[in-house]
Amino acid sequence: MAQANVFFKGEEKKFAINIEAAGFSMDDNDFEIEVTNGKESISALKAGEPTASGIWTNEDGSLVIFYEEETVTIPPVEEGGEPTANTVKNWFAIIDTQYFEKTGELKVIGTAYIVDSKAYDGVRKSIDVATLGTLKSK
């Protein structure tokens, strides 16, 4: 069994995405996910409508972005009140590690494209970086 945050070349690693920025919604706005080992990178853009399979992907399918819906029950505000059920989208990506030639630490770079009339081109970028884990050879 693989150790936590260690995976092997050839695995398809699924990971959660949660980009937060002022004025940004993953459900409504465009964003890009990039996975890099410092020498190589693979990226996909969530923009427009998904494919018929419900995913956004790059040309070779090495990185896909998608969401899964979940119903969340919120307790009533007042005693004796009715609980509220909301459907939320949980965002994920799957990276196919066979496309990396080099092993080592993989980082995920999330870029949010935020509509902002004060930005020069009308869109402001917000970037966040996190460590995905260590990619090793088998």
Predicted confidence at residue 4, as pLDDT, reads: 59
Higher pLDDT, 57 or 2: 57
| Domain map (residue ranges) of the chain | 6-136
State how far the Cα of 15 lies from the Cα of 93, in Å rounded to an integer.
Answer: 6
Give dist(CA 14, CA 120) in Å, integer.
35
Query: What are the CA-CA distances from residue 137 to residues 34, 41, 97, 98 (Å)?
Result: 21, 17, 10, 10
| pLDDT digits 0-9 by tens, 35-85 | 999 999 999 999 999 999 999 999 999 999 999 999 988 888 888 778 888
In tens, the pLDDT along 82-124 reads 888 888 899 999 999 999 999 999 999 999 999 998 989 999 9
Distance CA 138, CA 63 (A): 21
Spatial distance between the Cα atoms of 33 and 19, rounded to a whole number of angstroms: 10
pTM: 0.87
pLDDT band at 2 (very low <50, low <70, confident <90, very high): very low
Q: Does domain 6-136 have CATH number 1.10.10?
A: no
Q: 99 in helix, strand or coil? A: helix
